[in-house]
Structure 1
């Protein structure tokens, strides 16, 4: 007997509201993972918490493996959790518990034929909002999927094909103290000069459009002087287009700082990624979005996500999908329209059913176009 759609919708909404109500700042996801695995275990999944703290649930036994990788950690910020006029307010509602819960709710509602055609692995990853990306790195080694969905807000009609890369440089200038009436530059002067050189390099290197541009942002400025030594420190954050690797950006940044007494340490080496727009996965999602009355929209984003982390080890059809407006990420106004969440669940259920049935795979052997 088919499950009652209204009961399934109510359960899906309870899932996302319950997940958002549990604080889970990066590194503190244990309670949220326990809640999610408990819900999955009660809805037909084989569920467990893995060595990275990820909430993992599996359904199906078919020859295809579909990994649905979302993240369950959030940035800090206490937003009172409530539902008002069909809108769920709370930290993580958009970024990105809403997306992961949509994955889980859709897989929970799949018909037996879909479960016979594919194995669906939902991974609620830890520490996506931290530089470690611990959960995604563990999952990338644990599975060999045929298709990958990344849980990030795209809007229910949006399909995100790629994200920019990232490089973070921490720059430190240390100099002997001197009298400001004398000749010379301060540590802060040299740090500022270095920043302007990096900005000029970024402007020269940029291509057409923001996705093809090098975006440079200055943050984390600090300086101190103990009477003997001056120290100035700053963080230079670079968002990188696909044509520029983190290693090439490192070399360029060091060249820009040449001649300055600067010590540089790098982190966040993430390469940009952009997947093809025509394959079995994108076709299944496009058909499902149209069936719900929507118009599919392809997107690329200037941030980073776990897509960057897993792309090299998972060279398979991949896109990011999830309900919500990404402009609300990390803001005090973070909220999710539950009607949009319902539509995203319906889209995912239809697309995954189509993918498992193989009807979306016709012509997959032909070259995909970007």
Structure 2
């Protein structure tokens, strides 16, 4: 029947196998090969694309649904095991092999009528955890979906509508060395002053605003040195940006705030604009209905981090949300873990919601179609 799952152990074995394969950013090849083999066995048209993404397609209908997850993880080895409570421990279980494997298992379980109504493209992207987001930046130029799901942990009842933007500022201050008994500010003093100004600006943006709508500033790196001739002080400031402040605006603000500091050099990277999608569209409605049918209560969320949702938003201006099993507070931690029962439930929700979406979608006049790369 529509939405019926294949044997749970098949979906679970996919996940356990994926978590057991190390896949740091830039080293996703073995995992891509594993996922490609699994997809081929499940009837997908599978390939590894030019960016190293594992891509699988099922269905030939006029609706095109992109399910964009990522294969890479941050460093930190966690022994892979399933405890007595049915919880899978391992790096990537939550962020984000759980969501990606849930996408794959759900699309593998879709009934024929859904596959006749829609084309489902599942992407296991490379380098999401790296500043490059190489996989997403490549794939977003290769086709135009009508609907997008991003594979990130939201909890099986959660629907993530948006993520904050990002800007990374690398600050360097230099000055001639002097005796510390004399008058004057050291390069490290000036660097501390730079941080105080940035932190004060972030605090001002938070007045009367919630966390998602204000700037969050953190020090990511900090150092100073002195060779007897020149003092150098360096820092990296990480900024999480709300929708009302673009990376360009934040860059200009920091330039003005720090302009009077002598010997200042500023370099910026990681420019990602915040994104927040509407909460009422065909995609959110389908997921809400099925979550309720599974006994859950749909919960809309926005996240203070950044994901591939930010990367693809400009070229894919269509109904989008992030969904996947797991507790995002466990991302990047030494206790990363995922309840397999929640994973099963997320697969069931996705299977039902994708079926419902495909069968209720009006036939578009210009359906999503492949386009030449780079256009």
Cα 1:2–1:195 change in 2 (3 A) is: closer
What TM-score do the two structures reach when normalised by structure 2?
0.94
Q: Does 1:245 align with 2:246?
A: yes
2:59 maps to 60
Deviation at 1:222, TM superposition (A): 1.0
Please state whether the residue corresponding to 1:142 is helix, strand or coil.
coil
Aligned length: 360
Query: What is the TM-score normalised by the length of structure 1?
Result: 0.95
CA contact (8 A) 2:175 2:187 kept: yes
Residue aligned with 1:181, SS:
coil
What is the alpha-carbon distance in structure 2 between the residues aligned to residue 96 and residue 275 of structure 1? 21
Pairing of 1:170-319 with structure 2 (within 5 A): 170-206=170-206, 207-261=208-262, 262-319=264-321
Structure 1: runs of 5+ lacking an equivalent? 363-370
1:205 offset after TM fit, Å?
Answer: 2.2
Q: Which moved more, 1:299-308 or 1:79-88?
A: 79-88
Q: Which residue of 1 aligns with 2:344?
A: 342
Is the 1:8–1:109 contact (alpha carbons within 8 Å) kept by the matching residues of 2? no
**Deviating runs (4+, > 2 A) in structure 1?**
1-5
SS in 1 for 2:254: helix
Asked if the contact 2:53–2:135 (Cα under 8 Å) also holds between the matched residues in 1, the reply is yes
Matches within 5 A, 1:1-370: 5=5, 7-84=6-83, 85-206=85-206, 207-261=208-262, 262-358=264-360
SS in 2 for 1:102: helix
Shift of 1:100: 0.3
Q: Secondary structure at the match of 2:141?
A: helix
**Counterpart position of 2:367:** none
Q: Contact 2:4 / 2:109 at 8 angstroms: preserved in 1?
A: no
* Per-residue CA distance 1:111-130 (angstroms, 9 max, x = gap): 00000000000000000000
Tell me what 2:370 maps to: none
In 2, Cα distance between equivalents of 1:307 and 1:126: 14
Deviation at 1:8, TM superposition (A): 2.5
Structure 2, unaligned runs of 5 or more:
364-375
Q: Is the 8 A contact 2:145 2:316 kept in 1?
A: yes
Deviations 1:144-164 (A, max 9, x none): 000000000000000000000
Q: Write the deviation string for residues 131-180 of structure 1: whole angstroms up to 9, x where unpaired.
A: 00000001110110000000000000000000000000000011111100
Cα distance in 1, alignment partners of residues 124 and 338 from structure 2: 18
